[in-house]
Amino acid sequence: MSFARKATWAASIDNLAFSERETVPVAVLVRQRKALAALHDAFQGERSIARLREAAVQAASAGCASTMAKVLELRQPDNALIVKAQVGLGETAIGREGGTADAGNPPGEALISARPVIVRDVLAERGESAPAILREYGVVTSVNLPLIGAQGPYGILEVDYDHPHEVDASHLSFLASVAAVLAEGIESRQRQEALTEERDAKVTLLREQQHRIRNNFQMITALLARHASGCADPGLRKGYREVERRVFAMASLYDHLLGLGEHGERVDLGAYLESLCVSFGDFYDLGANALALNVALARGAATLGIDTCTAIGTVVNELVANAVEHAFGGSPGEICLSMRRTAAGVSIEVTDDGRGYAPGASESTGLSTARRLVGTFGGKLDVESRPGAGTRWTLSVNTSD
């Protein structure tokens, strides 16, 4: 049981006085239990505080056979009690003031004292000090129970009659149950709303960080490209290009995440590789080199963590770069990238119809780096190639963990 429920319930029944010989008609008990059952049903899965208030006033009115009921909540700046939900007053009553949290006003007294306040004849007992809304609707008997949260009393569950009505222990204990359920529901929803706001704030911050990181990656890529183009040493220029490719793979992942509006830590690998391939045409100037890139990637085949996707993207990037730089020798050709499901996870293939290379040929620094990256996520990288017959790289990724 939550704090709000305990506090609201205790405030309403601690001073409840009744005779041991007091009896309650069975019809009244049945009516009250039906109203409580309907209230609990209405609260199941309901996240709107406004709807919770409405369900509570309906239950209170039905269980007490009253002509009017309402929930009021304190507005701090001017100490006014504002109608938040109602039965029997009409929709125009929503948002109206129900007096202030002061002596003389029945709901105000209940809020101040954190105890039920029952006024059997409003006009006779309170006269002009009674709030206008009670006089306007001809309220005679008014029953007010406090709603209590972690910061103290903040609202009132009020049941009103347009005729004199005897309020006994069964009425108060029933209304105490309704008020306690409502206070707990409001507390729970407010806590959920606070958590949602905190989560949304973190998501916004994360997206801002992702934008900054993406922009930084793009700036670094541009700097590397400029240094590479101005470098006279072929070996140094190649080193710049290899670093540029790795930064490009990470920048592409951030572009992908931001484009999809994803905030989680897992990414659809197929969708990410597709977005990566879109940039290959410009990055490797495939058209000018008479090279075609064909892509056949299965979306939804694997959903992996961002770090693993980045590593796989970097490996695929190195394999495509290796084909562009070494497979064709200036001749036209085709590179194919595909992915399919396997029993253990997925298999990614990068193939080309280039000139191939002899077994035992030394690998570039980029390919050596790719093999090390594969080890970081427990993958396996195999190659099939022979002179004049092209090359097939197969990257096996285990997604069963």
Query: pLDDT category, 10, cuts 50, 70, 90?
Result: confident
* 85/33 Cα distance (integer angstroms): 22
Q: In the 8-state DSSP scheme, what is residue 78? A: G
**What CATH number belongs to 3-194?**
3.30.450.40
pLDDT at 129: 84
Q: In the 8-state DSSP scheme, what is residue 40? A: H
Mean pLDDT of 236-244: 74
Does position 238 have pLDDT exceeding 90, yes or no?
no
Of residues 194 and 85, which shows the higher confidence score? Answer: 85
The model's pTM is 0.56
Percent of the chain clearing pLDDT 90 (strictly above): 41
pLDDT by residue (tens digit) across 117-163? 999 999 999 888 888 999 999 999 999 999 999 889 999 999 999 99
Contact in structure between 272 and 253 (CB atoms under 8 Å): yes
List, by residue range, all CATH 3.30.565.10 domains of the chain.
265-398
Query: pLDDT category, 1, cuts 50, 70, 90?
Result: low
H-state helical runs in 65-168: 106-113, 122-126, 132-136
* 325/45 Cα distance (integer angstroms): 59
Contact in structure between 322 and 241 (CB atoms under 8 Å): no
**What CATH number belongs to 265-398?**
3.30.565.10
Contact in structure between 294 and 335 (CB atoms under 8 Å): yes
pLDDT by residue (tens digit) across 76-105? 889 999 999 999 999 999 999 999 998 889
List, by residue range, all CATH 3.30.450.40 domains of the chain.
3-194
Q: Cα 7 vs. chain centroid, distance in angstroms?
A: 30
Q: Which residues contact 118 (CB under 8 A, 6 or more apart)?
A: 141, 142, 143, 144, 167
What tokens appear for 15 in the block? 């001073």
